[in-house]
Amino acid sequence: QVQLQESGPGLVKPSQTLSLTCTVSGGSINSGSYYWSWIRQPAGKGLEWIGRIYTSGSTNYNPSLKSRVTISVDTSKNQFSLKLSSVTAADTAVYYCARAPSGGPGTDWFDPWGQGTLVTVSS
């Protein structure tokens, strides 16, 4: 059973770059046809999709974050990563990684999810 685990600094200073990694266990990130996504949730608020990557390296990003986001994949480590630049307090949130099938239109549900990691932007 595939499991995902987020890791990275819990505190980032304003204007700096937030960097997180999601480690996939219980299966190869290269096996099957899946997208690997990042999703965030500010405290007390709803879910916001950040972006996704296919193991080929192709990406899609939330247009509202696109100028600041980079998602990459390292198949040798069975990991994918998120970089969010020029962060502000508004980027403080719990960040989740998740897997979605890539079987065609509509096959984009997220399952499973990582447990999430809180990132606070503060000086």
Partner 1 sequence: SYVLTQPPSVSVAPGKTARITCGGNNIGSKSVHWYQQKPGQAPVLVIYYDSDRPSGIPERFSGSNSGNTATLTISRVEAGDEADYYCQVWDSSSDQSVFGTGTKVTVL
Q: Which stretch binds partner 1 (CB under 8 A): 13-21, 26-34, 54-62, 76-84?
A: 54-62
Helix (H, G, I), strand (E, B) or coil at 91: helix
Q: How far is CA 100 from CA 17, 24, 107, 112, in A?
A: 26, 13, 7, 8
By CB under 8 A, is residue 120 in contact with partner 1? no
By CB under 8 A, is residue 115 in contact with partner 1? yes
By CB under 8 A, is residue 3 in contact with partner 1? no
By CB under 8 A, is residue 110 in contact with partner 1? yes
The single residue among 34, 36, 61, 80 that binds partner 1, judged by CB under 8 A, is 61
Helix (H, G, I), strand (E, B) or coil at 36: strand
Helix (H, G, I), strand (E, B) or coil at 1: coil
Q: CB of 38: closest distance to partner 1 in angstroms?
A: 11
| Of 71 and 116, CB closest to partner 1 | 116
Both tokens of 44, joined, read 């007390």
Phi-psi region of 10 (alpha: psi -120 to 50; beta: other; left: phi over 0): alpha
Give the count of residues interacting with partner 1 (CB under 8 A): 24
By CB under 8 A, is residue 25 in contact with partner 1? no
Q: CB of 107: closest distance to partner 1 in angstroms?
A: 7
Q: How far is CA 5 from CA 18, 72, 100, 103, in A?
A: 17, 16, 15, 24
Query: What does the binding site for partner 1 look like in residue numbers (CB under 8 A)?
Result: 37, 46-49, 52, 60-64, 96, 100, 105-111, 113-116
